[in-house]
Structure 1
Amino acid sequence: MTTQSLQGRIALVTGGGSGIGRATCQVLEREGATVAVCDIKESAVRETVNLLKDPSKHLAVLTDVSNSESVESTISAIVDKYKSPPTLLVNSAGVTGIGPMKSFKEEAFSRCIDVNLKGTFLMCKAVANAMAKHKLNHGSFVNIASITGIMGLKDNSCYSGSKGGVIAFTKAASKELITDGIRVNSILPGPIESGMVSADNEIVQQAIRERTPIGRIGQPEEVAEVAAFLLSDKSSYMVGSSVEVTGGYIC
Structure 2
Amino acid sequence: MTLKDQAIIVTGGASGIGHASALELARQGANLIIADFDLNGAERVAAEVQALGVKAFAYKVDVSDPAAVEALVDFAVETLGTLTGVFNNAGISKVQSLLEMDPASYRRVIEVDQFSVYYGLYYGARKMVELGVKGVFVNTASIYGSVAAKGSFNYNAAKAAVIAMTRSGALELAEHGIRVTAVAPGFIDTPMMGQLDQSARAALAAQHVTNQLISPEKVASVVAFLFSDAASAVNGSTVAADDGFLAFKV
Q: TM-score scaled by structure 1?
A: 0.94
1:47-105 deviations in Å (ceiling 9; x for gaps) = 11122224772111111111111111111211221222x21111110000311111112
In the TM superposition, residue 210 of structure 1 has moved relative to its aligned partner by: 2.1
1:158-198 deviations in Å (ceiling 9; x for gaps) = 11111011001111111011111111011111100114422
Amino acid at match of 1:155: G
Amino acid at match of 2:214: G
Task: Give the secondary-structure state (helix, strand or coil) at the position aligned to 2:5.
Answer: coil
1:58 equivalenced with 2:32 (yes/no): no
Q: TM-score scaled by structure 2?
A: 0.94
Aligned to 2:194: 198
Match of 2:208 among 207, 212, 219: 212
Aligned to 2:81: 83
Task: Give the secondary-structure state (helix, strand or coil) at the position aligned to 2:222.
Answer: helix
For the 8 Å contact 1:199–1:205, the answer to whether it is kept is: no
Match of 1:13 among 10, 26, 34: 10
Amino acid at match of 1:44: G
Match of 1:186 among 158, 179, 182: 182
Amino acid at match of 1:231: F
Match of 2:153 among 150, 154, 157: 157
Taking the aligned partners of 1:39 and 1:180, their CA distance within structure 2 comes to 28
Matches within 5 A, 1:90-239: 90-136=87-133, 138-198=134-194, 201-239=197-235
For the 8 Å contact 2:166–2:182, the answer to whether it is kept is: yes
In the TM superposition, residue 33 of structure 1 has moved relative to its aligned partner by: 0.3
1:188-230 deviations in Å (ceiling 9; x for gaps) = 1110011442265212111112222211000111111001001
Taking the aligned partners of 2:222 and 2:80, their CA distance within structure 1 comes to 26
Unaligned runs of 5+ in 2: none
Moved more, 15-24 or 42-51: 42-51
Taking the aligned partners of 2:241 and 2:230, their CA distance within structure 1 comes to 18
For the 8 Å contact 1:96–1:196, the answer to whether it is kept is: no
Displaced runs of 4+ in structure 1, greater than 6 A? none
Unaligned runs of 5+ in 1: none
Percent identical residues: 30
Aligned to 2:43: 46
Q: CA RMSD in A?
A: 1.5
